Chains A and B, each alone.
Chain A
């Protein structure tokens, strides 16, 4: 069973890359990164492995934080609480986990499994269930695969422990867990429904941690050399440059607990005279160039700072910022009819037939 120990440099790159894969949401991985730096200073190390190297009947724990990003800025993400959510799940199902994995590689949750893993001395799989960030718990590959949507553990730093023992669908998992999370103060460490290694092998989205690290390394290396970091990302990922421009408007509104809105960009450089709008629901969902749909979910739409190459989130993007928009290819699992029902444009209320920007 081959496992690779990650260096702190890998983790730093992971934080940058996971934020790019966050496609506007998922929360900035800065605080998880600070936790990892502290854990590494204290001598902890984490290991990455492939799902293929597990035995089919091994159990895998899926780690994620749930909550409002703003609350996360005051009640800072904490590695021991994540580890407790995992231990609670092990007690509940009566199995020990052989490895942990990420629910969403995009944003802060892309780093969190490693925070728990550092305390539990477990390897982390190079797989997740979104390949990016999505706003709701049912928007995952395991949901598309129809795998059991329960049980789920939710833990509060003060010692509260809750278990969502049984629910009929992934939407119910989201609804019930969200209620618990709100009562905790709109932040909870969760261990998502447990998976067998066989399930992960079939339904996981693989190689995403390695992908995030590669993106992060490309950006950091380009920054060091004063080269174009966006070009660097496109040299390691089969992405597509969609637009270069300047933010001229951000309209935000909160509906049903989500941050929705529209970002407007005016073109710069070879995009001068052209305009792009991107509709978002925490994550960038659908982009239009001069009124025509261009890239849309499940294609990854990444808005990057044109100078630093680092991702810009929908909560913090502001007037005047210079950004470059790229698209990255979507995980194959979301391109099936069931996948598109779960995360395609219509799942977000847009009456548009999905057409990948990579098909044109």
Chain B
């Protein structure tokens, strides 16, 4: 198996080649304004080392912050037609009702609510009003809307109304791009619908970005399928990722943690990823980041994504340092490190300068930071360690000492001993852990559903079967599937021993 993993970060585009499970080469190129040039540069630089040597590449896996940035910066968004099936319920809270007004203004092309939807036990709530759906589609067409987000009450349990409505819309608008909320899982109508609306708003950007990625790969002379990394540390084939860009929102942080697991060989550990501006702390369980199971806000919009549970603090290699009184971060010089930091001829004292002065980092001009004596360096490191320690302790869920893997360009800030940590592990290629995480990504499938009148074992087995089928549909090899998450939650006030079961499985990418 030979794969290239690429992480397009805010500062650098990292690329690694992994061959038979080993990191053969890692390169960095500055991230370009158009993103694709940076990727092409990284691929060319990898190629120029001769490691590719015309050998067959099984896949190029790209992790990108492109889509989440578009939402946060309100750029490149498509106007969306929102179609909700579920009237007369939920009428007082229509689609977009809890969006920040500026974003809603950009995205809201129109809202249609018609009868339909299901009950928690699978009974239809109301029959789908097909005539109303067709009429809505005609109105969408008249408005020139092509990206349509369809949501339906309890669609994670029964998506038939959403799928039927999608057919009816497509019959009226043949080139419509349709997002069904049931493809985004999870119970919680507003949050699931919001995810669908965001996804629909990214329709054009997603098509263009993925086409540009494919072109970069082709231009570099590599013939390999493109995969896009997902929030949960897995990958989706390009055609599926194009359809569901919201699943790629938070893949950078996840990739770092997955890369840390891979490089260290540990499946259960804390991970601290120290970048230029921020430090992310998370926890690995069975090689995957523990997920946040609460509401996640993206660009001010409440959603329920599969996102890693991370704590971010303002500490990194570019953090400003002031000595009297002693303060480290949260402000950072960011991508201007090589210009603004003292050791590089700039004026701003940073944590990197301190590391150079103390001899921890063999870069820059040590003479320029000679005024920092050992005791001062010690104090700065102690403060950085204190900040990291507090964050690590907050994210720990077990009382005992746990191993900690330190990755990222600023990992030098993490001392070899920390309270509550059994040992601190620094790994080779740790500064490219995110690209490594992309390269090794697997394919997942998930089921989150309510089961009734079953034993707990039966419900778990049923959920497992559904998750397995979804993983295979997403490109996994069935023989390699394993369950990485399984939880069941008895439901208050529902009859018939109702239990909500969530199962997630992963497997290797199936050979094509």
Interface residues of A (CB under 8 A from B): 31, 34-35, 38, 67-71, 73-80, 157-159, 178, 182, 185-186, 246, 248, 252-255, 257-259, 266, 282, 315-316, 318-320, 322
Cα distance A282–B492 in the bound complex, in angstroms? 8
Q: Give the 9 A-B CB pairs with smallest separation, nearest first.
A: A254-B490, A259-B492, A68-B493, A76-B90, A320-B397, A185-B119, A75-B89, A319-B397, A73-B188
* Residue from A75, A257, A316 within 8 A of B294 (CB atoms): A316
Please state if A75 and B92 are interface contacts (CB–CB under 8 Å): no
When each residue 353-366 of chain B gets 1 if its CB lies under 8 Å from chain A and 0 otherwise, what string results?
Answer: 00000000000000
Once A185-B119, A252-B490, A254-B490 are accepted as A-B contacts, the answer to whether A74 and B399 lie under 8 Å apart by CB is no
B97 interface residue (CB < 8 Å to A): yes
Cα distance A185–B309 in the bound complex, in angstroms? 33
Please state if B489 and A186 are interface contacts (CB–CB under 8 Å): no
What chain A residues lie within 8 Å of B125 (beta carbons)? Answer: 75, 158, 185
What chain B residues lie within 8 Å of A322 (beta carbons)? Answer: 394
When each residue 308-345 of chain B gets 1 if its CB lies under 8 Å from chain A and 0 otherwise, what string results?
Answer: 01000000000000000000000000000000000000
Can you give 12 A-B contacts (C-beta < 8 A)?
A35-B93, A70-B187, A70-B450, A71-B494, A74-B120, A75-B125, A158-B89, A182-B494, A246-B397, A248-B399, A318-B294, A320-B309
Cα distance A253–B92 in the bound complex, in angstroms? 33
Known: A78-B89, A320-B395. 10 other contacts (CB 8 A): A35-B93, A70-B450, A70-B491, A74-B117, A74-B188, A158-B89, A182-B495, A185-B120, A186-B119, A259-B490
> Which of B172-180, B368-376, B496-504 forms part of the interface with chain A?
B496-504
Once A71-B120, A158-B126 are accepted as A-B contacts, the answer to whether A76 and B89 lie under 8 Å apart by CB is yes
- In the assembled complex, how far is the CB of residue A319 from the closest CB belonging to chain B, in whole angstroms? 5
Chain A residue, CB-CB nearest to B311:
A320
B482 interface residue (CB < 8 Å to A): no
Contacting A at CB under 8 A, from B23-72, are none
Please state if B492 and A79 are interface contacts (CB–CB under 8 Å): no
- In the assembled complex, how far is the CB of residue B165 from the closest CB belonging to chain A, in whole angstroms? 17
Dominant SS at the B interface? Answer: loop
What chain A residues lie within 8 Å of B90 (beta carbons)? Answer: 74-76, 78
What chain A residues lie within 8 Å of B497 (beta carbons)? Answer: 254
Chain A residue, CB-CB nearest to B88:
A157
B451 interface residue (CB < 8 Å to A): no
Please state if B189 and A76 are interface contacts (CB–CB under 8 Å): yes
What chain B residues lie within 8 Å of A75 (beta carbons)? Answer: 86, 89-90, 125, 153, 189
- In the assembled complex, how far is the CB of residue A79 from the closest CB belonging to chain B, in whole angstroms? 5
Cα distance A322–B190 in the bound complex, in angstroms? 27
B91 interface residue (CB < 8 Å to A): yes
B293 interface residue (CB < 8 Å to A): yes
Please state if B153 and A31 are interface contacts (CB–CB under 8 Å): no
Cα distance A175–B240 in the bound complex, in angstroms? 48
- In the assembled complex, how far is the CB of residue A304 from the closest CB belonging to chain B, in whole angstroms? 15
What chain B residues lie within 8 Å of A258 (beta carbons)? Answer: 492-493
B396 interface residue (CB < 8 Å to A): yes
* Residue from A74, A159, A178, A252 within 8 A of B187 (CB atoms): A74
Please state if B495 and A38 are interface contacts (CB–CB under 8 Å): no
Q: Determine which residue in A80, A178, A185, A266 has the highest number of CB atoms from chain B within 10 A of its CB, and name it.
A: A185
What chain B residues lie within 8 Å of A35 (beta carbons)? Answer: 92-93
Cα distance A76–B117 in the bound complex, in angstroms? 13
Chain A residue, CB-CB nearest to B126:
A158
Please state if A38 and B500 are interface contacts (CB–CB under 8 Å): no
B154 interface residue (CB < 8 Å to A): yes
Cα distance A253–B500 in the bound complex, in angstroms? 11
- In the assembled complex, how far is the CB of residue B182 from the closest CB belonging to chain A, in whole angstroms? 12
* Residue from A78, A182, A185, A318 within 8 A of B92 (CB atoms): A78
B105 interface residue (CB < 8 Å to A): no
Please state if B498 and A254 are interface contacts (CB–CB under 8 Å): yes
Please state if B491 and A254 are interface contacts (CB–CB under 8 Å): yes
Please state if A31 and B494 are interface contacts (CB–CB under 8 Å): no
B428 interface residue (CB < 8 Å to A): no
What chain A residues lie within 8 Å of B92 (beta carbons)? Answer: 35, 38, 76-80
- In the assembled complex, how far is the CB of residue A55 from the closest CB belonging to chain B, in whole angstroms? 33
Once A252-B489, A266-B399, A318-B294 are accepted as A-B contacts, the answer to whether A257 and B89 lie under 8 Å apart by CB is no
B401 interface residue (CB < 8 Å to A): no
Please state if B88 and A74 are interface contacts (CB–CB under 8 Å): no
- In the assembled complex, how far is the CB of residue A142 from the closest CB belonging to chain B, in whole angstroms? 22
Cα distance A182–B123 in the bound complex, in angstroms? 12
B98 interface residue (CB < 8 Å to A): yes
What chain A residues lie within 8 Å of B190 (beta carbons)? Answer: 31, 73, 76
What chain A residues lie within 8 Å of B93 (beta carbons)? Answer: 31, 34-35, 38, 76, 78
Cα distance A34–B190 in the bound complex, in angstroms? 11
* Residue from B120, B126, B153, B294 within 8 A of A186 (CB atoms): B120
Please state if B492 and A315 are interface contacts (CB–CB under 8 Å): yes
What chain B residues lie within 8 Å of A158 (beta carbons)? Answer: 88-89, 125-126
Cα distance A322–B395 in the bound complex, in angstroms? 9
What chain B residues lie within 8 Å of A315 (beta carbons)? Answer: 492
What chain A residues lie within 8 Å of B499 (beta carbons)? Answer: 254
When each residue 475-512 of chain B gets 1 if its CB lies under 8 Å from chain A and 0 otherwise, what string results?
Answer: 00000000000000111111101111000000000000
Once A75-B90, A76-B92, A254-B491 are accepted as A-B contacts, the answer to whether A320 and B294 lie under 8 Å apart by CB is no
What chain A residues lie within 8 Å of B189 (beta carbons)? Answer: 73-76
Cα distance A186–B450 in the bound complex, in angstroms? 14
Cα distance A182–B294 in the bound complex, in angstroms? 27
